[in-house]
Amino acid sequence: MVGNVACGKTTLLQAMAGQELAYKKTQSIEVVAGHIDSPGEYLERRVNLQNLLVTSVDTDLVLFLLDPTQERYMYSGGQAAAFPVPVAGVITKADLASPEQIAQAKELLELTGADPIFAVSSFTGEGIAELLAFLE
Ligand SMILES: Nc1nc2c(ncn2[C@@H]2O[C@H](COP(=O)(O)OP(=O)(O)O)[C@@H](O)[C@H]2O)c(=O)[nH]1
Ligand SMILES: [Mg+2]
């Protein structure tokens, strides 16, 4: 799970694992039910980017998450190609976002090279089954 601070990484892992949604600040790389959560600072603070690349070596797939309601865009064009494994995209908080925000988030994730791209809400459960089926 890669994405800005508060984009919804930890909550999505809880939703995917069928756990109760409970806020918890992610301070370091954590393993949750076979998935790796990462702090948003690893994407936002460029000196930490290497941590994401090194950690991804032990994974099958990386998910780039994007909160369509946030203004900050911290990905680089083509960034998915820097990872040694496939990268898919996840638009989070679909319950909060307008159709225009979701369309823009999709375009921005496409610029990173992430493919395919899902739109989910951890709160309503929208899109979670599709994402889980893809991961399976
Ligand atoms: N409305 C809504 N809020 C969400 C959703 N997912 C996460 N949030 C909220 O966004 C905030 C940050 O979520 P968190 O999972 O901790 O983000 P992280 O920093 O990327 O791990 C919390 O207040 C969550 O309750 C969602 O699908 N819908
Ligand atoms: Mg977190």
User: What is the spatial distance between Cα 135 and Cα 123, in angstroms, rounded to a whole number?
Assistant: 20
Contact criterion met (CB below 8 Å) for 83 and 62:
yes
99-125 pLDDT, tens digit per residue, is 999 999 999 999 999 999 999 999 999
Ligand closest to CA 26: 2
Show the tokens assigned to 43: 């994407």
Q: Which residues of the chain have pLDDT under 50?
A: none
| pLDDT computed for residue 96 by the predictor | 98
| pLDDT computed for residue 47 by the predictor | 87
Q: Hey, where are the domains in the chain?
A: 9-135
- Indicate which residue's Cα is closest to atom 11 of ligand 1: 6
CA of residue 81 to ligand 2 center, whole Å? 24
| 83 CB within 6 A, ligand 1 | no
CA of residue 6 to ligand 1 center, whole Å? 6
Nearest atom within ligand 1 for CA of residue 7: 20
Burial of 54 (0-12, 13-18, 19+ CB in 10 A): exposed
| pLDDT computed for residue 27 by the predictor | 82
Tell the CATH topology of 9-135.
Answer: Rossmann fold (3.40.50)
| pLDDT computed for residue 58 by the predictor | 87
CA of residue 23 to ligand 1 center, whole Å? 8
